[in-house]
Amino acid sequence: MTGRPILVEFPEYIETERLRLRAPRPGDGAAVNAAVLESFDVLHRWMPWAKQRPSVEESEATVRSFHAEFIAREDLPLLIFARDGGELVGGTGLHRIEWNVPRFEIGYWIRRSCEGRGYATEAVHTLTEFALGRLGAARVEIRCSHRNERSQRVAERCGFTLEMSKRLR
C-alpha cells in the first residue's frame, strides 16, 4: 500500500453471487432513507448513527458526506444492492481505518424486508476477503453488542474469532 491513503485503488463496485457493493453516490439519499425508515425499529437499537428517523434531505446529506469520505479514503462506506434488480438491501463498509497497520472494522445492516436471506453474511465474507487480499489488512474486526445475537452469528459464519471486552464504569 502507498503511504497516502487517497491513492489506494478501490474498484467501482465489488460483486458477489447475488450482491453488488458500491460507494454511496449523490442521489442515493432517497433509497437509503426508505431502507433506514423501514428498518428503524431494529437499527436504532444497535447502530449509533440511528438515533432519530432521518428526512430524505438528511439522508441525502449523509450519503454525500459518505461519498466524500470514501474518495478521501478516510472511511469506506458501501451500499449493498441486489444484483437482480438493484434494490438497496442495506449497508456495509470498512470503518475505523488505520492505514499504517492496515486495520479495518466491518459494519453492516440489512433492511427489514431483506433479512434472513444470508445477505449480511455474503457481503461481510466478500468484504473480509477484499480487505485481507486487495488491501493487505493485518486485522479485520467486527464489533457488536453481546446482546445482538444476529450480528454475532454473521461474524461466526464468516470465521471471525470472538474477543470479549469489558467496559469499566
- Per-residue pLDDT of 4-42, as tens digits, reads 899 999 999 999 999 999 999 999 999 999 999 999 999
- Confidence (pLDDT) at 153: 93
Share of the chain above pLDDT 70, in %: 96
**DSSP state for residue 54 in the 8-state scheme:** P
Task: Grade residue 54 by pLDDT with cuts at 50, 70 and 90.
Answer: very high
Dist CA 51 CA 40 (whole Å) = 9
**DSSP state for residue 30 in the 8-state scheme:** H
Q: Are strands 139-141 and 13-15 parallel, antiparallel or unpaired?
A: unpaired
Q: Which long-range contacts (CB under 8 A, 24 or more apart) does 50-53 make?
A: none
Distances (CA, A) of 79 to 108, 109, 133, 144, 159: 9, 10, 20, 19, 22
Which residues, in sequence order, are CB contacts of 151 under 8 Å at separation 6+?
46, 108, 120, 142, 144, 145
Given CA atoms 160, 72, 48, 34 in this order, what sign does their dihedral have?
negative
Task: Put the strands of the sheet holding 103-110 in their side by side order.
Answer: 13-15, 19-22, 76-82, 88-98, 103-110, 139-141
With vertex at residue 127, the alpha carbon angle to CA 124 and CA 128, rounded to the nearest 5 degrees, is 80
